[in-house]
Amino acid sequence: MDLDTVALHEFIRQALSEDVGNGDHTSLSTIPAGQQGRAKLLVKDTGVIAGVSVALEIFKIVDPALVIEILIEDGGSVHPGDIAFYVNGSVHAILVAERLVLNTMQRMSGIATTTNNVVKLLEGTGTKVLDTRKTTPGLRYLEKLAVKIGGGVNHRFGLYDMVLIKDNHVDYAGGTAKAIEAAKAYLKANNLDIPVEIEVRNTAELNEVINSSGVDRILLDNFTFENLKEAVALINKRFITEASGGITEENVLEYAQCGVDYVSMGALTHSVKSLDMSLKAVKSN
């Protein structure tokens, strides 16, 4: 998987600046300069690991001379006691990188694990799981990368790569049809070629969308299962369909069985449990 190294390196440098400040005085005061050592990334949970490739970039920026031996790649299944990688080199550099590597990998692995659980639940349904913009400020790239590693699909990254007309847009614009026409005119005037999706709250709004043109995807928000099935039948594959609103691991299969192409879940990124792991010194004999 190709990394956006520009965005990633900016994040790493900001995070290191926040953490290190004018120096890691604990390590500088207790460990001789130039001391070499070895550490291992020890997994303490069961799940899907994510962030190994990010950890490599963190180590590279902290000290390009660090040598990493990868044992488990991103997307691999892990269990307590597994070792994801070893890192060798300057002890000072390893300790500077330690917390950023762990914070990043623990959260990314939690997201990848949650996503993968949902992907497995959806096997055989034809429905795919999408992430949302309900991400941690400053961490969106990493959290959406973790969703991909877990087997999910990225929705729009931000406000700039898709027109997503939601309930507030519809209400402020004066209705569904007006919002769609305004969006079409805007895209044409600005020579933009990006997808258009619109959220509908009921059958009346859905019919307005079906009778309009210029929309690629319909977001069916907070529909009951019965109403969702009826809406999918009414759309009849003329638009890509997405269900959202209160979707969890407990009910996601029932949503998928209504026939939608996608389910979107904010829970993939906004309320996951991090995967437990630690970076431990490997003592020489």
Q: Active-site residue numbers?
A: 99, 134, 166, 199, 221
Q: CB pairs under 8 A, 24+ apart, for 16-23?
A: 16/61, 16/62, 16/96, 16/100, 19/96, 19/99, 19/100, 20/96
Handedness of CA 266, 270, 272, 278 (dihedral sign): positive
Contact 43, 280 (CB under 8 A): no
Counting Cα atoms < 13 Å in the Cβ hemisphere of 179 gives 23
> Which DSSP letter does residue 153 get?
B
Query: Using N-to-C axis directions, what is the helix angle for 203-210 and 176-189, rounded to 10°?
Result: 40
In the sheet with 277-281, reading across from the earlier edge strand, the strands are 67-70, 83-90, 36-43, 277-281
Residue type, 261: D
- How many helices and strands, by DSSP H and E, does the chain display? 11, 12
